[in-house]
Amino acid sequence: MTKKLIAGNWKMNGGLDANQALVLELLAGIGQPACDVAVCPPAPYLGQVQLLLAGSKAVELGAQDVSRHESGAYTGDVSAAMLKDFGVRYCIVGHSERRQHQAESDVHVALKVQRALAAGITPIVCVGETLREREEGMTEFIVKRQLSAVVHLNGHCISEIVVAYEPVWAIGTGQTATPSQAQQVHAVLRAQLKAATEHAERVRILYGGSMNAANAAELLAQPDIDGGLIGGASLKAPDFLKIVAAAG
């Protein structure tokens, strides 16, 4: 059975003092988790968090984004090679906030996945539908389209990715998909992966829509939910540690 993965997405939050306090509290309370754990700070703090995590085998470093370009005149972009220099193990790719605010297309996301994989970084590929798309019965079509673009470009190594289902209507809203709603979409994604690779069982599918300390255990008990991509709760060490414990 594949270990579950709990990844904390700090989004555009944090500061030098706050980061240090959060990471030290996590390390003090995490012990030897039964699942894999990662934290994804904003890019300017990767060096700081790398140093704070040095020597710890319990928590790995993740990033929130990566450029689809290898190098060059792309002001503000951060390449996969740069992330690798900081010991980044995971990288969130195609988060709905970037799809919405930075107009990232399915093709852009697929290219970013390609760059991460080439650098030996595991991409956490986000897919999910808006409230309107769900109400119009388009959930399955949307998530399959988003994942299909990634499979099409990276099919030879698709078993090396992580997928995160994040219903857009449940991100930062306090709303959460019910365990059965989440499981239904995860099962669709699992079937799509099985059609793409004989190693589909290696691919962990995380739930990323307002998972918190109160609902984590029930969500993580679903057969096709292999962990969580945690937003707000990852900024509170006690809450994040409860989610990690629920994944054990």
Q: What is the pLDDT of residue 1?
A: 59
Active site members: 95, 166
Q: What is the domain partition of the chain in residue ranges?
A: 5-246
161 has pLDDT over 80: yes
What percent of the chain shows pLDDT beyond 70? 100
Question: Which helix (DSSP H) or strand (DSSP E) does residue 97 occupy?
Answer: helix 96-101
Q: What is the pLDDT of residues 172-214, one digit of tens each?
A: 777 778 999 999 999 999 999 999 999 999 999 999 988 999 9
User: For residues 63-98, b (16+ Cβ closer than 10 Å) or e, as one string?
Assistant: bbbbbbeeeeeeeeebbbebbbebebbbbbbbbbbb
pLDDT at 99 over 90: yes
What is the pLDDT averaged over residues 98-107?
Answer: 96
Cβ proximity of 184 and 139 under 8 Å = no
For the chain, percent of residues with pLDDT exceeding 90: 93
Q: What's the whole-number mean pLDDT along residues 108-123?
A: 98
How many other C-beta atoms are found inside a 10 Å radius of the C-beta of residue 108? 17
Residue 35 pLDDT > 90: yes
Q: Class assignment of domain 5-246? A: alpha beta
Q: Quote the CA–CA distance of 189 and 208 in Å, as a whole number.
A: 14
The token pair at 227 is: 């962990």
Beta bridge partners of 126: 164
Q: What is the largest CA-CA distance in the chain?
A: 49
Please write down the long-range contacts of 17-24, taking CB distance under 8 Å and 24 or more positions apart. 19/45, 19/48, 19/49, 19/52, 20/48, 20/52, 22/235, 22/237, 23/49, 23/52, 23/53, 23/59, 24/52
